[in-house]
């Protein structure tokens, strides 16, 4: 075990979470991925603008950008002239602003009297304009954790960058459907005590964003950047951690990496290895990191002159309601769910679905279906791809006794594999619930076949034989009842 | 007094300058950072502070609030690197005339403010490849205006300056705001008499404060055209939304056709003269251009009659507006007619009688197409025959309304004789009237 205090472990997090809103942050495009082919591919160049990068050598930046050509895939409903830098931005999306202020309130942070939208210089082509619009909406907040308070240095509202499609030498292709999706960024102070604590903090911040009910779900919607340093080393930023479970391992790996560099420096009696330590790294899938081009911080920001500052007055603030926190939610759920399941459902991607469905159906069944059943199916390699409406339909069939709850895993499996509706899946699997008469028919058939067992009154083997035939189509206690009755005849 | 800050904030900021590092104490809260200037938007009562994270926030004035200067502003932002790069005197000599658009400007990244460039070398900081194309020595700035504010006197100033520079250089580029760029290009086309060198007007739709600005490629292509064999006035801007090539379009046959797109400027009723790629590759798209002749000297012929009105008819339009201008002493009219050149004729508010009266009084009325594309036809319909035969309106051929307007002002600057005016308006002087209506010239 590493004594994190002793090695001078310092760690802060920055989490980014895409928001699920009606439109993008500064235009009225749909904030979603397009499944269609691009309607247009445009070609652009970028160049450094003298002075904007502060101490960074403009000449070097020019060389870097000179030969690069960026291609952008444009989509019908997800890209407009604003997205391709052919029209100035519209005023900020009010819905997003309100969500950001909700989060700011939940983290007890100060909200500036006036929010100024800034341009953050980005030269990798992932923003068509060469900058990302961003604004700080909260300062000096606090998050309660199992190891004490963790300071929140800032809460920012930003536009998501474009997603990279391919890089072919100096030609880089991006897709613009993702560009401009609202993103909330929360940065913590270096108050994190150990790698597991980092995971807890990230989880809790994620919950806060999710409690607004406006967090996007799915792969890549949440990303963490981690700052790690130990005594004698340097502060290193690891960007783009997507898997929360990977966080502790990644931090431990970074500590080891830094410790080795420090040892090397001691061995060689030189500061050089530490001086040369790259300060920005990208998280790889295997829990290690790789070097990426560093950029200075504050110097990257300058005012967005196309947009007026947003005045935050009392009237606007009074309209912002704090949503139910996850603690409050857990308390409410524990009234009808066992503790273990409460935790599972709260962390689950199906939380919003559960909120809607548990009022109509047996909460325990809904919760276990949405957690253990889906997890079980995923582990056996099935990508559960079922919409809220379809889950609703499935539970409704169970409620109406058209299908037994035991059949749920198999129905979900078929639905996901064959991309069909609940009704068709039930039909296809033959998992439609049996009527008592149908069951009686089957039981009689089996009893006729196994007269010897009937004579010896061997209930269990007979029950086994019947269940083999009818599993998932009728409840077990009904089978037992009918079997007993028929055996007496 | 710090601009755009309220009186009470200014009182609080006494002895504090923009850029100073300050500590703002407001109740229990402290804000530390650099004092920033206020734009003309937002709350004048909020003090803009740049935090160490780089973000700006506004801290609203409150009674009892305190602000302390921690450190004076650093003297000047780091000297730009342009000093290291020099133009090569062996390259073709090109002059730059700036008029004040955002294209020839620089951003102060500390404040976000935009400043006009003063030295040609400053351009090189952003576009070092210019040094391999031309020797940009003469930079003059006859005016600094947003293009919506530019008037005929400014055209005259620009024409005089350009004429002076043309005779000293291989070519001239004129940086200009985009809104009325096509008016200026038309004005220069008529005013630069005996021109046989390229005069290239260039602007940008996305200001150069962003790495994605169209200004860089526009300028590169403009300087290339300025060294080319085309001896005409034209506009050089993006040909498509890609950073791929620019079009060089004749000064009298070009119009801003979109509010914001970088390819907003389109050649109307003819093909662009050329397609220019930033690497210098040039495709001539329209063979009817005047060739360079360095032996000829240009003269600025800048006489202009400003009392010309550009009007538009539309359903329910009231011709009484003509009397308003007549009373104001106007000497000429360009009316944008509907379709092939109609004005309301048998309508309740017919424009025919007043136009008839005006032309009878010796004041020219030119009809130009409000369809933008196409040519005025004075014959095919009865109402057209009434307008052009009975009232003696002048059919503006395939001239753009804006070009017809500038031309009429220029013609009236030289003669008020109606028959002479009619003759000149129907004569092609600077490529403004195409002899043939070419099939491929629509929506290019």
> How far is residue A145's CA from residue A194's CA, in Å, rounded to a whole number?
12
Task: Report which DSSP code applies to A46.
Answer: -
- DSSP-assigned letter for residue A215: B
pLDDT tens, residue by residue, A460-471: 888 888 888 887
Q: What is the CA radius of gyration of chain B?
A: 26
Which residue among B55, B114, B262 sits closest to A86, beta carbon to beta carbon? B262
What is residue B116's predicted lDDT score, i.e. its pLDDT? 67
Optimal mutation site among A67, A68, A114, interface B, most CBs of chain B within 10 A: A114
The rounded percent of chain B whose pLDDT value lies above 90 is 82
Residue B394: closest CA among B370, B411, B378, B416: B378
Query: How confident is the prediction for chain B on average, in pLDDT?
Result: 93
For residue B75, name the pLDDT band (cuts at 50, 70, 90).
low
Residue B133 three-state SS: coil
pLDDT at B421 exceeding the cut of 90: yes
Chain A residues 78-97 with a CB less than 8 Å from chain B: 81, 84-88
Q: How far apart are CA A432 and CA B98, in angstroms?
A: 81
Element (H, E) at A441: helix A436-449
Predicted confidence at residue B1, as pLDDT, reads: 85
* A50·B51 Cβ contact <8 A: no
Tell me the two tokens of residue A258: 């830094």
Q: Which residues of A touch B48 (CB under 8 A)?
A: 114, 116, 309
Q: Does A169 touch chain B (CB under 8 A)?
A: no
Element (H, E) at A94: helix A94-106
Across the A:B interface, residue pairs with CB atoms under 8 Å apart total: 166
Is B137 in the A-facing interface, judged by CB distances under 8 Å? no
Q: Are strands A280-283 and A69-74 parallel, antiparallel or unpaired?
A: unpaired
CATH number of B308-425: 3.40.50.40
Whether A134 contacts chain B with CB within 8 A: yes
Question: Which of B103, B301, B110 is CA-nearest to residue B218?
Answer: B103
H helical segments located in A80-177:
94-106
- Written as six digits, the tokens of A299 are 């110097």
Q: Which residues of B are catalytic?
A: 102, 178-179, 256
Highest mean predicted confidence (pLDDT) among A284-298, B10-24, B117-131: B10-24
Kindly identify which residue of chain B lies nearest to residue A62, measuring between CA atoms. B126
Between residues A449 and B120, the one the model is more confident about: A449
Phi, psi of A201 (to 5 degrees): -60, -45
Closest approach of chain A CAs to the CA of B299, in angstroms? 38
Chain A residues with CB-CB distance to B53 below 8 A: 136, 153-154, 297-298, 301
What would the pLDDT profile of A278-330 be if each residue is shown by its tens digit? 677 888 877 787 776 555 556 678 889 889 999 999 999 999 988 888 788 88
Nearest neighbour of A52 by CB, restricted to B57, B109, B114: B109
Helix (H, G, I), strand (E, B) or coil at A17: strand
Q: What secondary structure does DSSP assign to A103-116, as a single string? A: HHHHTTPBPPSEE-
Only one residue has tokens 């530390």, namely: B32
Cα of B74 to nearest chain A Cα, Å: 13
For residue A142, the cross-strand partners are: A151
Alpha-carbon gap: A119 to the closest alpha carbon of chain B (Å): 9
Question: A331 CA to chain B: closest CA distance, Å?
Answer: 35
Running DSSP on this structure, what letter comes out for residue A363? H
Q: Which residues of B touch A135 (CB under 8 A)?
A: 55
Rounded alpha-carbon distances, angstroms, from residue A266 to A259, A262, A263, A270, A273: 11, 6, 5, 7, 9
Q: B254-257 — which CB contacts under 8 Å span 24+ positions?
A: B254/B182, B254/B185, B255/B182, B255/B372, B255/B400, B255/B402, B256/B178, B256/B179, B256/B181, B256/B182, B257/B372
Q: Is the minimum CB–CB distance between A158 and chain B shorter than 8 Å?
A: no
CATH of B7-71 among 1.10.1200.30, 1.10.1740.10, 2.30.30.520, 3.40.50.1820 = 2.30.30.520
Instruction: Mark yes or no for CB contact A87/B260 under 8 Å.
Output: yes
Q: Is B218 on the interface with A (CB under 8 A)?
A: no
- What residue spans define the domains of chain B? 7-71, 93-300, 308-425
Predicted pLDDT at B19: 87
- Going by pLDDT thresholds of 50, 70 and 90, the confidence category of residue B43 is very high
Instruction: For chain A, list residues with pLDDT below 50.
Output: 51-56
Taking the CA of residue B99 and the nearest CA in chain A, the distance in Å comes to 21
Contact A187, A154 (CB under 8 A): yes
pLDDT of residue B399: 98
Q: Per-residue pLDDT tens for B302-323?
A: 999 999 999 999 999 999 999 9
- Is the confidence at residue B295, as pLDDT, over 60? yes
In a mutagenesis test of the A interface, which of B28, B43, B57, B115 is the best target, namely the one with the most A β-carbons within 10 Å? Answer: B57
d(CA A355, CA A346): 10
How close A324 comes to chain B (CA, Å)?
28
Give the gap in angstroms from C-alpha B118 to the nearest C-alpha of chain A.
Answer: 15
Which residues of chain B from 228 to 257 reach within 8 Å of chain A, CB to CB? 241-244
Query: A139: which chain B residues are within 8 Å (Cβ-Cβ)?
Result: 51, 57
A43/B42 CB distance under 8 A = no
User: Are the beta carbons of B240 and B443 closer than 8 angstroms?
Assistant: no
Q: Do domains B7-71 and B308-425 have the same CATH topology?
A: no
Rounded CA-CA distance A394/B252 in Å is 70
Name the nearest CA neighbour of A158 among A130, A127, A182: A182
Select the residue of B112, B128, B211 nearest A49 (Cβ to Cβ).
Answer: B211
3-state secondary structure of B424: helix
CB contact set of B419 (below 8 Å; sequence gap of 6+): none
- A40: three-class secondary structure by DSSP: strand
| Inter-chain CB proximity B211 and A43 less than 8 Å | no
Distance from the Cα of B100 to chain A's closest Cα (Å) equals: 18
CATH number belonging to the domain at B93-300, selected among 3.40.640.10, 3.30.70.580, 3.40.50.1170, 3.40.630.10: 3.40.50.1170
First to last CA, chain B: 52
Q: Is A74 on the interface with B (CB under 8 A)?
A: no
Is B261's CB within 8 Å of A86's CB? yes
Pairwise CB contact (< 8 Å): B241 & A112: no
**A201 within 8 A of A190, measured Cβ to Cβ:** no
Contact A156/B at CB under 8 A: yes
Q: Is B212 on the interface with A (CB under 8 A)?
A: yes
Residues of B in Cβ contact (< 8 Å) with A81: 260-261
| Dihedral sign of CA atoms B266, B270, B272, B273 in order | negative
What count of Cα atoms within 13 Å lies in the side-chain half-sphere of residue A345? 30
Residues 271-330 on A with a CB inside 8 Å of B are 297-305, 308-309, 311
Residue A54: the pLDDT is 45
Q: Tell me which long-range contacts A460-466 makes (C-beta under 8 A, separation of at least 24).
A: A462/A487, A466/A442
> Are the C-beta atoms of residues B177 and B148 closer than 8 Å to each other?
yes
pTM: 0.85
- Is the per-residue pLDDT at B328 higher than 70? yes
Structure tokens at B234: 């034209």
CB contact under 8 A, A119 and B125: no
For testing contact with chain A, the best of B25, B62, B125, B210 (most A CBs within 10 A):
B210
Residue among A159, A184, A129, A146 at smallest CA distance from A19: A184
Contact between chains at B112 and A303 (C-beta distance less than 8 A): yes
Inter-residue contact B21 to A266 (CB < 8 Å) = no
pLDDT for the residue numbered B271: 97
If you search the block for the tokens 């002895």, which residue do you land on?
A: B15
Q: Which chain B residue is nearest to residue A89, measuring alpha carbons?
A: B260
């Amino acid at each position: 075990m590493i004594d994190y205090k002793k090695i001078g472990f310092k760690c802060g997090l920055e989490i980014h979470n895409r928001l699920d809103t009606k439109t993008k942050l500064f235009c009225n495009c749909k904030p979603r991925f397009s499944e269609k082919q691009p309607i247009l591919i445009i070609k652009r160049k970028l160049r450094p603008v003298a002075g904007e990068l502060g101490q960074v050598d403009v000449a070097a930046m020019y060389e870097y950008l000179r030969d690069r050509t960026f291609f952008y895939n444009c989509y019908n409903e997800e890209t407009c002239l604003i997205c391709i830098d052919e029209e100035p931005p519209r005023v900020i999306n009010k819905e997003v602003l309100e969500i950001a202020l909700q989060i700011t309130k939940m983290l007890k942070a100060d909200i500036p009297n006036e929010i100024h939208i800034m341009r953050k210089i980005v030269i990798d082509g992932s923003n068509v304009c060469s900058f990302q619009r961003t604004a700080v909406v909260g300062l000096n907040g606090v998050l309660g954790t199992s190891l004490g308070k963790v300071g929140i240095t800032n809460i920012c509202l930003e536009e998501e960058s474009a997603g990279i499609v391919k890089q072919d030498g100096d030609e880089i292709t991006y897709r613009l459907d993702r560009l401009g999706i609202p993103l909330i960024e929360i940065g913590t102070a270096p108050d994190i005590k150990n790698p597991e604590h980092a995971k807890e903090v990230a989880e809790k911040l994620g919950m806060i964003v999710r409690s607004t009910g406006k967090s996007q779900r799915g792969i890549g919607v949440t990303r963490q950047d981690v700052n790690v340093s130990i005594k004698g080393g340097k502060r290193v930023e690891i960007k783009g951690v997507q898997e929360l479970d990977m966080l502790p391992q990644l931090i431990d790996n970074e500590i080891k990496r830094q410790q080795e560099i420090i040892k090397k420096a001691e061995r060689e009696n030189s500061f050089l290895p530490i001086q040369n330590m790259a300060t920005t790294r990208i998280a790889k899938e295997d829990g290690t990191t790789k070097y990426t081009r560093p950029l200075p911080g504050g110097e990257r920001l300058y005012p967005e002159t196309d947009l007026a500052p947003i005045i935050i007055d009392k009237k606007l603030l009074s309209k912002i309601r704090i949503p139910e926190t996850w603690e409050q939610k857990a308390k409410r759920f524990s009234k009808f769910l066992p503790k273990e399941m409460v935790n599972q459902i709260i962390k689950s991607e199906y939380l919003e679905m559960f909120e809607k469905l548990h009022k109509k159906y047996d909460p325990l069944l809904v919760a276990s279906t949405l957690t253990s059943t889906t997890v079980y199916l995923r582990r056996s390699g099935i990508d559960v791809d079922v919409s809220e409406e379809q889950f609703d339909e499935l539970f409704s069939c169970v409620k109406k006794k058209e299908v037994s709850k035991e059949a749920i895993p198999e129905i979900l499996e078929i639905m996901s594999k064959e991309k069909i509706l609940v009704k068709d899946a039930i039909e296809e699997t033959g998992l439609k619930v049996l009527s008592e008469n149908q069951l009686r028919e089957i039981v009689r058939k089996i009893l006729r076949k196994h007269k010897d067992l009937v004579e010896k009154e061997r209930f269990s083997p007979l029950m086994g034989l019947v269940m083999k035939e009818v599993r998932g189509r009728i409840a077990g206690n009904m089978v037992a009842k009918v079997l007993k009755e028929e055996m007496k005849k | 007094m710090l601009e755009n800050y309220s009186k009470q904030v200014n009182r609080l900021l006494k002895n504090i300058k923009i850029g100073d590092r300050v500590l703002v104490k407001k109740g229990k809260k402290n804000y530390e950072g650099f004092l920033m200037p206020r734009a003309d938007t937002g709350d004048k009562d909020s003090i803009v502070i740049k935090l160490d994270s780089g973000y700006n926030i506004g801290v609203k004035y409150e009674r009892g609030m305190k602000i302390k200067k921690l450190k004076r502003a650093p003297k000047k932002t780091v000297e730009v690197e342009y000093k290291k790069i020099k133009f090569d005197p062996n390259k073709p000599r090109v002059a730059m005339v700036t008029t004040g658009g955002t294209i020839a400007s620089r951003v102060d990244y500390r404040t976000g403010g935009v400043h006009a460039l003063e030295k040609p070398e400053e351009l090189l900081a952003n576009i070092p490849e210019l040094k391999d194309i031309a020797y940009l020595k003469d930079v003059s700035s006859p005016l600094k205006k947003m293009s919506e504010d530019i008037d005929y006197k400014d055209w005259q100033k620009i024409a005089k300056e350009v004429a002076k520079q043309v005779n000293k250089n291989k070519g001239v580029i004129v940086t200009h705001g985009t809104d009325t760029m096509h008016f200026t290009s038309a004005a220069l086309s008529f005013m630069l008499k005996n021109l046989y060198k390229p005069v290239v007007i260039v602007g940008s739709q996305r200001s150069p404060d962003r790495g994605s600005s169209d200004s860089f490629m526009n300028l590169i292509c403009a300087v290339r055209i300025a060294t080319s064999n085309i001896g005409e006035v034209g506009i050089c801007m993006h040909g498509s939304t890609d950073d791929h090539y620019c079009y060089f379009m004749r000064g009298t046959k070009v119009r801003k056709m979109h509010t914001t797109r970088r390819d907003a400027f389109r050649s109307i009723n003819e093909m662009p003269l050329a397609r220019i790629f930033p690497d210098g590759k040039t495709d001539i798209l329209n063979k009817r251009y005047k060739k360079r002749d360095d032996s000829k000297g240009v003269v600025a012929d800048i006489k202009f009659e400003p009392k010309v009105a550009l009007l538009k008819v539309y359903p329910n339009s009231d011709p009484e507006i003509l009397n308003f201008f007549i009373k104001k002493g106007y000497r000429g009219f360009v009316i944008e007619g509907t379709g092939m050149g109609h004005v309301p004729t048998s309508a309740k508010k017919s424009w025919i009688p007043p136009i008839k009266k005006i032309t009878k009084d010796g004041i020219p009325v030119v009809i130009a197409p409000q369809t933008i594309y196409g040519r005025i036809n004075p014959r095919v319909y009865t109402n057209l025959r009434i307008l052009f035969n009975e009232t003696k309106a002048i059919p503006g051929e395939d001239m753009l309304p804006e070009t017809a307007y500038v031309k009429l002002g220029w013609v009236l600057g030289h003669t008020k004789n109606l028959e002479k005016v009619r003759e000149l308006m129907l004569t092609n002087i600077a490529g403004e009237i195409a002899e043939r209506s070419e099939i491929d010239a629509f929506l290019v």
